Amino acid sequence: MPTSERRLLLDFEKPLVDLEERIKQIRDLAEESEVDVSDQIQKLEERADQLRQEIFQNLTPAQRLQVARHPRRPSTLDYIQSMTDEWIELHGDRLTGTDDRALVGGIGRLDGRPVVLLGHQKGRDTKDNVARNFGMASPGGYRKAMRLMNHANRFGMPILTFIDTPGAYAGLEAERLGQGEAIAYNLREMFRLDVPILCTVIGEGGSGGALGIGVGDRLMMFEHSVYTVASPEACAAILWKDAAKSPQAAEALRITAQDLKQLGILDQILPEPLGGAHANPLQAAATLKAAILENLAQLDSLTNAQRRDLRYQKFRKIGIFQEMSA
């Protein structure tokens, strides 16, 4: 395997990759010497499939976080281009005269139906990540998102949001331009929209940066995605003054799709191809598209008032507390 490919390997994938390289070496030697080793190769391939299933069925929260952050994990634009019949990206918040590339959006057709799609966009390499601010949107990005959602509401188009950010940009300039206000405004306004809203965590859903486009009728997550109030590294630095304790924080934060489904926050877990969404992006996109169409069909049967009321009640029910007697 080339050095560049090995850099993209996750720690827990190494035994599997070593086995796959061994299979390749045996196959190459057999072809050179014209020896039939098909039985041995078949057994090794069966062992590789079994090992892959064992690894990805038993990931810890910290390991799921690694998968969610994988540099080759499909992004918002990857899913949009795979699922839509046509797509036109729209730019700008119409307020500051700038366009935030960390949050993209526009109009597309999903099986012929006009929809508005928007989401966080990370880069594929260092240069692209810098240009897109590592998927951390500024106030202009959230205001652009709200402009597109108002457009969708005016013309009766469903809204599809894709969440993949470590959090909103926390720089001084973002604070000066009203980062907190921009996100809070989105939270309030998304509750009043008449059209169906489907939110999907496709990778990393972090803090208010995720919530800024995360108020919807349905919340879906890919099975190796994460959704958290703060990154495990930040949590560990705050609680223990040691970012190295992030695996412990990831466990305590209950960040996985399975945890959130159990807590009643998540509506649907989307299965990923074996090895993660980056192992087969087209299959992941097909799974997401099918889930979106199924949920849209259910939401279409409701009136605007019913959707708004259910959306409100959905978020009112989140959170559990226990009263302690004196």
pLDDT digits (tens, 9 = 90+) for 201-231: 999 998 899 999 999 999 999 999 999 998 8
Within 8 A by CB and 6+ apart from 197, the residues are 149, 158, 159, 161, 190, 215, 216, 217, 218, 311
User: What's the CA gap between 321 and 283, in Å, rounded?
Assistant: 40
- Write out the DSSP string of 219-235: EEEETT-EEESS-HHHH
Topology at the third CATH level for domain 65-316: 2-enoyl-CoA Hydratase; Chain A, domain 1 (3.90.226)
In the 3-class helix/strand/coil scheme, how is 153-215 assigned residue by residue?
Answer: HHCCCCEEEEEEECCCCCCHHHHHCCHHHHHHHHHHHHHHCCCCEEEEEEEEEEHHHHHCCCC
Amino acid occupying residue 111: D
Smallest CA-to-CA distance from 197 within 211, 183, 217, 213 is with: 217
The pLDDT confidence band at residue 33, using thresholds 50, 70 and 90, is: confident
- Report the pLDDT value the prediction gives residue 35, as an integer from 0 to 100: 66
3: pLDDT strictly greater than 50: no
User: What's the CA gap between 137 and 93, in Å, rounded?
Assistant: 12
Q: Does the model's pTM come out above 0.85?
A: yes
State the average pLDDT over residues 19-37: 72
- Report the pLDDT value the prediction gives residue 101, as an integer from 0 to 100: 95
The pLDDT confidence band at residue 158, using thresholds 50, 70 and 90, is: very high
User: What's the CA gap between 257 and 241, in Å, rounded?
Assistant: 27
Q: What does the mean pLDDT of the chain come to?
A: 89
Share of the chain above pLDDT 70, in %: 94
**Most confident option among 18-32, 44-58, 271-285:** 271-285
Return the H-helix or E-strand segment holding 62: helix 61-68
The pLDDT confidence band at residue 4, using thresholds 50, 70 and 90, is: very low
pLDDT digits (tens, 9 = 90+) for 37-52: 677 777 777 777 777 7
Smallest CA-to-CA distance from 208 within 276, 140, 145, 137 is with: 137
29: pLDDT strictly greater than 80: no
Q: Which residue has the higher pLDDT, 289 or 8?
A: 289
pLDDT digits (tens, 9 = 90+) for 231-260: 899 899 999 999 889 999 999 999 999 999
Q: How many residues does the chain have?
A: 326
Within 8 A by CB and 6+ apart from 208, the residues are 167, 168, 180, 183
Smallest CA-to-CA distance from 281 within 321, 226, 222 is with: 222
Domain boundaries, the chain: 3-58, 65-316
HSE at residue 312, side-chain half, CA atoms within 13 A, is 12
Distance between terminal CA atoms of the chain?
64
304: pLDDT strictly greater than 90: yes
